[in-house]
Amino acid sequence: MQFAPLFPVVHNILKPNFPDCLWHGDPNSKTIALSFDDGPHPQYTPQLLKVLDRYNITANFFWLGACVNRYPEIAKAIHERGHWIGLHGYLHDNFPLLSPTELKQSLEKTQDAIYSACDLHPEKVRDVRPPNGFFVPNTLRLFQQWNYRPVMWSVVPEDWVRPGITKVNQRVMSQVKNGSLIVLHDGVCGGQDVAETVEYIVPQLLKQGYHFVNIDTLWKMKIGKK
């Protein structure tokens, strides 16, 4: 069963109840954040980078620490291109199932992997997207205590179940609007199609006048509106 039609509904329910998370950018600005979870991957991520390079697009990558340790050269290539880096846990464990100690270790191990691959200091990698979008209030309390920033989403085309590139493209283009925070995947699940998907949606969005920004820019917009 595919749950893609439910994600916009879930977003509208969760967003007002958890306002300290980053759910989207400025609705008055023609900006979009394009993000990718579960990488880096030795095949799919380089294919994706070629497309991003072609259009000179800034994107955002939420990495699994284990994948960074396996493919540090790909992680380094992403960072050197100026893309924004965030955390997705070390092994894609659902955060509510981890003890506080296990969660902290998962995030810190991922930061260590990124530092080793990219020479990017842990204090500069503080954005966290929970795997599968699963969190509980205590997860967010722990993030705040440890000085992490929770990043969620507004457009989720459920590409990881591979409904077809056409379907993913339709879902993105029908939901996107000012400030959208789009989630795609360049890992084992969904990464097979990510380059072709981005090859389609990016020029379409550029034609509509959108420009692509990093997660930090969205946070600054959010803070500036308070």
Cα–Cα–Cα angle for 182, 111, 95, rounded to 5 degrees: 60
Residue 37 designated active-site: yes
Preceding peptide of 130 cis, ω within 30°? no
Residue 16 CB contacts under 8 Å (≥ 6 apart), including other chains: none
Query: Among residues 24, 37, 38, 92, which one is catalytic?
Result: 37
Q: Are 49 and 78 in contact (CB under 8 A)?
A: yes
Query: Among residues 38, 185, 186, 193, which one is catalytic?
Result: 185
Preceding peptide of 19 cis, ω within 30°? no
Residue 211 designated active-site: no
- For residue 118, give the DSSP letter: H
Positions annotated as catalytic residues are 37, 185
